[in-house]
Structure 1
Amino acid sequence: MPQAKDLQQAGPVMSWTLAGLALSILLPSLGTSIANIGLPTLMEAFGASFQAVQWVVLAYLLAITTLIVGVGRLGDLLGRRRLLLAGIAVFTVASALCGLAPALPLLIAMRAVQGLGAAIMMALAMACVGEAIPRERTGSAMGVLGSMSAIGTALGPALGGVLIAAAGWPAIFLINLPLGALAFVLVYRHLPASAPAAPKDGTGFDVPGTVLLAATLAAYALALTIGRGHFGSLNLALLAGAALGVALFLRVEARAAFPLIRPGMFGDASLRAGLLSSALVATVLMATLVVGPFHLSSALGLNAAAVGLVISMGPLVAALTAAPAGRLVDRLGARPMSLLGLAGIGGACVLLAVLPTQLGVAAYLGPIVILTASYALFQTANNTGVMAGIAPAQRGLVSGMLNLSRNLGLITGTSALGAVFAAGGLHITFAVAAALIGLALAITTLLRSPAGRPAPRGEAP
């Protein structure tokens, strides 16, 4: 049993490697949720309006959304370990500068730089799983990364409140310094180096395509976030600009010598299914975070503390179930677990759409527990299934595309399902959400390859 013995001996090293990758996922999630809790304090500290301080959050999210595909591809070309270390360093230094910022414009600028580091960490941590973790344990590793993302989301509000009360708003950024340093040391010491793509392989970095994609994504994200729920002429102009950007991007990529995203990649039905399903599920998940607080406070009459406790149950359930979900994916396969996760999310949405408000908190919290546990299963299975068929030279790019599909879903969910809730209430919102999950089920059933995976995409047969 030499292979089993070798794997056992490599166990401690592998655990430290996974710990470094897990921290690289935890910190970007924490960077999003911990800043939200600090916005009222920042308004007082800088004497600014809400519209001004909200850019502390928006600058970070826009940087991640617009850059994540490009930095994923750059990692494929330069070496994923090298760029991941650079991303951790950028994130950590930018966090220090955020905490020391004397004025709001500088803080917003440093948050954008922090978002660059976060984009690198999110794109490359997942991509590094394929080369650092044995294939038979990929699902478990993806489950651990999913747990870290959920823990970061759940931990942010509580930790941020404690830090602000104890040491003021700079502490919500300075907390990243020891955590970032630890992540850097773990990745530096334990993650094996990845060979960059060789120029003779016909690879290069597509600067025009990267800039055009970033501008297109920025236009789309701004169209759905500015205006505080009022969709006006500026939003329409930005959406039109995003649509034009998509057309130009496809035209540029079709003619590029080394395209950022080869249009032919989307001929792969499994990749299309994974990306589309990820975006649809993220759209629905965001409804629980955006719609939930309003329903709990206005319809059920809960106070702020009770609302926070109920809302935190979703990320907590996801954190507890992601790792076991990974083990299920390893044993039973990615595709059936993706379908099971989608079925659970869809069933929970139906319950939220039909259960009467008179049943109280239980009628909301019960389905939410089902939904978030099913989301953890789907996310782990979907990420595992997509990344399993990717050639090593494209792992960073496709990991970035997966994260991008999720971010676009979160942005779309905030705007679109928030508008549905404002117009029709909770039951209509989750009826629409159930229809979206039905679409994701159809896509996964019809497009994704059965259990037998093809040869890694991007490699010659």
Structure 2
Amino acid sequence: MPDRRPPAAGAQETGPANPWPALWALVLGFFMILVDSTIVSVATPAIMTSLGVGVDAVVWVTSAYLLAYAVPLLVTGRLGDRFGPRRVYLAGLAIFTLASLWCGLTGTIGELVAARVVQGLGAALMTPQTMAVITRTFPAESRGRAMSLWGAVAGVATLVGPILGGVLVDGLGWEWIFFINVPVGVVGFVLAVRLVPELPTHVRRFDLLGVALSAVGMFLLVFGIQEGQTYDWGTIAGPVSVWSLIVAGLVVMALFVVWQARNPGEPLVRLALFRDRNFSLANIVITTIGFTVTAMVFPILFYAQGVLGLSPTGSALLLVPMAVVSGGLAPFVGRWTDRMHPRVLAGIGLASWSVALMWLAAVMGPTTPIWELLLPIALLGVANGFVWSPVSSTATRNLPRADAGAGSGVYNTTRQVGAVLGSAAIAVLIASRLAAELPAAPGGGASETITKLPEALHAGFATAMAQSLLLPAGVALVGLVAALAFALPRHLARPGATASESVSSSAG
């Protein structure tokens, strides 16, 4: 019979004496699924040519994956609490790996989209379990270092996707962006079987009405936001419009919240989690981070290809300083996270993000040398390195162990919703600024041929991309305000804190 007595908050559950090997096994799969969120963008032209389809059809290769990934996260987080994170993670990894093989073998766009849906469902099963295992096996005072690894993987994976995609498409063909997942998935599965411990389960009953409401509400909301630009924020079919879907999604999600508050049994998400100040604030912050990370890449890459004349792979390599700096900082920030007030570290990261994007917007011009762009891009690496670990660990430090999966599901859901919002918002803004700066090629006309952009349009195009970067810069400032309101974590406020911690405590 499963153990339903969660240990006290901050305590470590029974597990391996050294939980690090288990974490390394889990983040291998986590890295793979995050890379798949961005890798397809580089392969899109090759897929269109190979399968003989247009833009309207091929966008679903990415959209279907992101929908299937984002919508079930609230549910899959709770599945880990009920059946154990190890079992759910292994099931998700098996599904993801087999679906990747299917993706590479498909011969029609319909098959590819269907395979991507299955792949997204596998990713949704895996993601919350990585954070849940950290929460349940690492004690609060050392969880920051573990979250630094999780955060570094999340940050670097978003940059590796376009680079790896360009190399594979140019060298082997678009199918290999999916085939590459198969050996990685097999290795990850073997490692997880050997290294990830079985953990106690806690949930007796499953909230089926909550599952239905969350799934329907998230689908309507995410689909409406994600596909709004595709349908010009107008009619989809008959009386159904983009805005009606978004409103319906908000209404259903409101009903979901009401049901969670009144459910006499065990709700899918206990609203009591949000009584923890840091958990609530961390979800706001990670939403802004998801928005910023997603939104900032498009103007930078479009500018690199349309104005600087770089290839897709070359434009992706422009972001290498960000990945290098971020990865180099992650171990240090992880150690600091366990000893310092999270508002300091997250504040440095979010402030750096806003400054770096405004700096980029100021220098992006038709004749800007590449070295001048690398400096603010390196500062983006500082931002990336400083936010993931403190925000992630702050969100989960005070969670009851029985709710580790549910809390991780909420956190990853808000991150994905932020990413969807960022993608939709930046698409609308780019189209608007192009129409204003390039009246001869309004809307998306210029963006469809950015690799052949005439030199006479370079100045206007650069201005439009620079102006677009101000949106994620502003959203990062919203995240900064929320991060500065973090309370001092309990493990730093306890008796015996060091002198530096006591100073932080008095400041908090």
Fold agreement, TM-score > 0.5 = yes
Contact 1:146 1:323 in 2 (8 A): no
Contact 2:286 2:411 in 1 (8 A): yes
Aligned twin of 1:268: 276
The equivalent position to 1:231 in structure 2, one of 230, 233, 237, is 233
The equivalent position to 2:395 in structure 1, one of 371, 380, 386, is 386
Shift of 1:23: 0.5
Aligned twin of 1:150: 155
Which SS does the other structure have where 2:67 is aligned?
helix
Bigger shift: 353-362 or 181-190? 353-362
Aligned twin of 1:215: 216
Aligned twin of 1:452: 490
Task: Return the alpha-carbon distance in structure 2 between the equivalents of residues 405 and 325 of structure 1.
Answer: 23
Contact 2:299 2:466 in 1 (8 A): no
Which SS does the other structure have where 2:490 is aligned?
coil
The equivalent position to 2:200 in structure 1, one of 175, 190, 195, is 195
Within-5 A mapping of 1:239-250 = 239-250=246-257
CA-to-aligned-CA distance 1:132-152 (integer Å, 9 cap, x gap): 334443222212222223343
Task: Return the alpha-carbon distance in structure 2 between the equivalents of residues 157 and 265 of structure 1.
Answer: 36
CA-to-aligned-CA distance 1:307-353 (integer Å, 9 cap, x gap): 23214443444333333321221232433212222222232234234
Which SS does the other structure have where 2:72 is aligned?
helix
- AA at the equivalent of 2:257: L
The 3 A distance-change label for structure 1 pair 171 and 301 is closer
Within-5 A mapping of 1:367-386 = 367-386=376-395
CA RMSD between the two structures: 2.6
The 3 A distance-change label for structure 1 pair 35 and 356 is closer
Aligned twin of 2:446: none
Which structure is larger by alpha-carbon Rg, 1 or 2?
A: 2
CA-to-aligned-CA distance 1:6-35 (integer Å, 9 cap, x gap): xxxx78x54422220121211101222222
Gaps of 5+ in 2: 1-15, 236-240, 434-463, 494-508
The equivalent position to 1:414 in structure 2, one of 401, 419, 423, is 423
Gaps of 5+ in 1: 1-9, 456-461
- AA at the equivalent of 1:255: R
CA-to-aligned-CA distance 1:201-231 (integer Å, 9 cap, x gap): xxx2222222222222222222222243822
Which SS does the other structure have where 1:408 is aligned?
helix
Task: Return the alpha-carbon distance in structure 1 between the equivalents of residues 170 and 307 of structure 2.
Answer: 30
Shift of 1:194: 0.8
Bigger shift: 58-67 or 339-348? 339-348
Within-5 A mapping of 1:231-310 = 231-233=233-235, 234-256=241-263, 257-300=265-308, 302=310, 304-310=312-318
Aligned twin of 1:5: none
Bigger shift: 85-94 or 128-137? 128-137
2:207 matched to 1:169?
Answer: no
Task: Return the alpha-carbon distance in structure 1 between the equivalents of residues 356 and 163 of structure 2.
Answer: 27
Aligned twin of 1:7: none
Shift of 1:166: 4.7
The 3 A distance-change label for structure 1 pair 198 and 263 is closer
Shift of 1:49: 1.6
Contact 1:150 1:316 in 2 (8 A): no
Shift of 1:445: 2.5
Contact 1:292 1:311 in 2 (8 A): no
Task: Return the alpha-carbon distance in structure 2 between the equivalents of residues 434 and 98 of structure 1.
Answer: 36
- AA at the equivalent of 1:252: W
CA-to-aligned-CA distance 1:174-215 (integer Å, 9 cap, x gap): 22121111111111111121111153xxxx222222222222
2:498 matched to 1:441?
Answer: no
2:94 matched to 1:89?
Answer: yes
Aligned twin of 2:356: 348
Contact 1:389 1:453 in 2 (8 A): no
Task: Return the alpha-carbon distance in structure 2 between the equivalents of residues 289 and 218 of structure 1.
Answer: 25
Task: Return the alpha-carbon distance in structure 2 between the equivalents of residues 120 and 415 of structure 1.
Answer: 25
Bigger shift: 389-398 or 47-56? 47-56
Contact 1:217 1:242 in 2 (8 A): yes
Task: Return the alpha-carbon distance in structure 2 between the equivalents of residues 273 and 212 of structure 1.
Answer: 24
2:128 matched to 1:127?
Answer: no
The 3 A distance-change label for structure 1 pair 100 and 305 is closer
Query: As a proportion of its length, which structure holds more helix?
Result: 1
Bigger shift: 306-315 or 184-193? 306-315
Task: Return the alpha-carbon distance in structure 1 between the equivalents of residues 148 and 190 of structure 2.
Answer: 23
Aligned twin of 1:45: 50
TM-score of the two chains, using structure 2 as the length reference: 0.80
Which SS does the other structure have where 1:244 is aligned?
helix
The 3 A distance-change label for structure 1 pair 454 and 309 is closer
Bigger shift: 265-274 or 374-383? 265-274
Contact 2:282 2:395 in 1 (8 A): yes
Which SS does the other structure have where 1:23 is aligned?
helix
Bigger shift: 261-270 or 119-128? 261-270
- AA at the equivalent of 1:177: V
Contact 1:37 1:160 in 2 (8 A): yes
Aligned twin of 2:5: none
Contact 1:213 1:246 in 2 (8 A): yes
Bigger shift: 316-325 or 279-288? 316-325
Which SS does the other structure have where 1:54 is aligned?
helix
Identity %: 29
The equivalent position to 1:138 in structure 2, one of 143, 148, 157, is 143
Contact 1:24 1:125 in 2 (8 A): no
Aligned twin of 2:437: none
Contact 1:139 1:380 in 2 (8 A): yes
